[in-house]
């Protein structure tokens, strides 16, 4: 019987190894997700296209958010250092070329991720809204079922 680590490693390899943590979940680029808790649940990419695309959308949104944050952090660092130099009459620590050279790859990555996110969002928008309604109803039914199970356990406890 495989260990927990072996099971998780196999799942990660099967789904491309690259995952992003969003809350308590690790999302993969193919729509798979798993609980961040090693003893938690592993979900293969959903067979339902809408749900699979929603997982991919979350994954890509988080990648984009992180890329934008990296760009902004670098930009803010440059602004702070150059402003300090200018305000104190020092020679700027970076040239225009230095700044462009550092920021250009980050800008390209943000634009690439924006394109990938828009691609998924277009696919989702093209899906019939009836699919979304079915998913919302199924989700509510599942949540009700789970809640009723917990309530039944709680009600069965006698003090």
With bands split at pLDDT 50, 70 and 90, how would you rate the model's confidence at 131? Answer: low
Answer yes or no: are the C-beta atoms of 46 and 28 closer than 8 Å.
no
Domains in the chain: boundaries: 1-45, 47-127
Question: How far, in whole angstroms, is CA 76 from its chain's centroid?
Answer: 24
pLDDT digits (tens, 9 = 90+) for 38-62: 999 999 999 999 999 999 999 999 9
Q: Who contacts 71 (Cβ-Cβ below 8 Å, separation ≥6)? A: 103, 106, 107, 109, 110
pLDDT digits (tens, 9 = 90+) for 83-124: 999 999 999 999 999 999 999 999 999 999 999 999 999 999
- Strand, coil or helix: 65: helix
| 104-142 per-residue burial string, b: 16 or more CB within 10 A, e: under 16 | eebeebbeebeebbeebeeeeeeeeeeeeeeeeeeeeee
């Amino acid at each position: 019987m495989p260990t927990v680590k072996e099971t998780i490693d196999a799942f990660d390899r099967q789904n491309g190894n690259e995952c992003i943590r969003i809350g308590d979940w690790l999302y993969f680029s193919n729509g798979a997700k798993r609980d961040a808790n090693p003893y938690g649940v592993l979900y293969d990419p959903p067979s339902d296209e809408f749900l699979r695309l929603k997982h991919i959308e979350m994954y890509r949104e988080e990648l984009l958010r992180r890329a934008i944050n990296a760009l902004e952090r670098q930009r803010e660092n440059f602004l702070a250092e150059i402003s300090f130099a200018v305000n104190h009459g020092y020679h700027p620590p970076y040239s225009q070329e230095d700044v462009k050279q550092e920021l250009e790859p980050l800008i390209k990555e943000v634009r690439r991720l924006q394109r990938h996110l828009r691609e998924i969002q277009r696919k989702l928008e093209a899906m019939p809204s009836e699919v979304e309604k079915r998913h919302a109803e199924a989700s509510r039914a599942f949540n009700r079922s789970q809640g009723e199970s917990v309530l039944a356990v709680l009600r069965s406890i006698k003090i």
